[in-house]
Amino acid sequence: MKLRIPQKSDIFGKKVIVRADLDVPLTDQNSIKDDSRLRAVLPTINFLLENNARVILIGHLGRPDPNSKFKIQNSKFSLRPVVDWFNQELGIRNQDLRIEKIGEFEGWKVNDNFCVLENIRFYKEEDLSISSGLEFAKNLASLGEVYVNDAFAVSHRVHASLVGIPKYLPHFAGLRLLKEMEVLSKVLVDPLRPLVVIIGGAKIETKLPLVEKMHKIADYILVGGEIAEQDKILLKVQNEKVTSRKTVLLVADLLENGKDITEKSAENFKQIINLAKTVVWNGPMGITESSKLEDTERGTRILAEALAKRSSYKIVGGGDTVAYLKKVNLLDKFDFVSTGGGAMLDFLSGEKLPGIEALTT
């Protein structure tokens, strides 16, 4: 799939709507714990600003109930901490930031060339299944002259800010979105082998399609986390149905409390990791936010440390896995950190992502 990135002639002096992934974890004091997703969009924003574009940034934070009454300034889902981050990072340092009207929407005019709309998920019409969704998208589009999608992590959603706006404006892919697709496409088309795919976590409904797809591509599939116990038989039966190539599937055993894989399973996984030339990892092996009374991170830690020592090409995605690697100071040992969790899984599973498909028409 060929996507266009904006050239200088496309955006110079124009108002450019940028859909970014602004969904960052916050502390209880409303400060940003991990700014990785914000840094991922900086190259696109800087490119636009350097070419005299006026940027209107759109994104979301968390999952607010769009049907509830709320006061934006006091909401835990407000993007104000993100606005403060950009205010400092871009060197603007506006001391008089306040929420105001931007067209029909509320947001912050950080300076004449950069503004941020409040959490787009405060509006129920962001979901295009709502009857007024397209009209909402048209109103959003009226804020700009050009649209750029740099939000790979949410491009599997059928939302107004992803699928609707491109119907009304010239549209392009952002630099980060393009990089995500290039790296993940190489895994599907021409990976260095052996290719090892590690799948953990608890959501079997999102992980099972990836297991099925990887049967036809990977050399080894290692499955841990709750999905290992929930669907061990299903996974093995599914693996046996694939006759075009023989993939080795290893499904971990869990501890009696079900909160981590056994040390023996982790060591077995480690042996396979030591053979790998390419590794894709999504989902921890156990609960990585454990209490002081029990260690439920051991399986994940064994894999993380084994991978950190390998010179293979390593890709990691999924919020819980990335957060854990950052916590144990091993994230920099990975060659590519995908901003996507569900979007990464869908892409590797062969699914078409609506937000990306919208850029091709």
Asked whether the predicted pLDDT for residue 203 surpasses 70, the reply is no
Q: What per-residue confidence (pLDDT) applies to 353?
A: 95
The residues, any chain, with a CB within 8 Å of residue 91's CB and separated by 6 or more, are none
Per the prediction, the chain carries an average pLDDT of 89
Handedness of CA 128, 132, 136, 142 (dihedral sign): positive
User: Could you give the CA distance from residue 128 to residue 158 in angstroms, rounded to a whole number?
Assistant: 6
Query: 10 Cβ partners below 8 Å, 6+ apart?
Result: 146, 170, 172
CA 75, CA 357: separation in Å to the nearest integer? 33
Contact between 222 and 198 under an 8 Å Cβ cutoff? The reply is yes
CATH number for 8-177 (one of 3.40.50.1260, 3.30.70.100, 3.40.50.300, 3.40.190.290): it is 3.40.50.1260
Q: Where in the chain is the domain with CATH 3.40.50.1260?
A: 8-177, 191-348
Q: Strand, helix or coil at 117?
A: strand
Q: What integer pLDDT is reported at residue 346 of this predicted model?
A: 87
| 222 pLDDT above the threshold of 60 | yes
Percent with pLDDT over 90 in the chain: 66
pLDDT band at 73 (very low <50, low <70, confident <90, very high): very low
Give me the pLDDT at residue 331, please. 95
**pLDDT (0 to 100) of residue 151:** 97
User: For residue 171, is pLDDT > 90?
Assistant: yes
Is 167 a residue whose pLDDT tops 50? yes
At 79 the pLDDT is 96
Residue 225 has pLDDT above 50, yes or no: yes
Give residue-wise pLDDT tens across range 21-38.
999 988 888 899 889 999
114 vs 289, which has greater pLDDT? 114
* CATH class of domain segment(s) 191-348: alpha beta
Per-residue confidence band for 234, with pLDDT thresholds at 50, 70 and 90: low
Q: How confident is the model at residue 341 (pLDDT cuts 50, 70, 90)?
A: confident
Report the run of H or E that residue 209 belongs to, with start and end.
helix 204-214
Report if pTM > 0.85. Answer: yes
User: Each residue of 236-258: pLDDT tens digit?
Assistant: 655 555 555 568 888 898 898 88
Flag whether pLDDT at 292 surpasses 60. Answer: no
Which residues share a beta bridge with 222?
Answer: 198, 250
Over residues 120-142, the pLDDT tens digits come to: 999 999 999 888 999 999 999 99
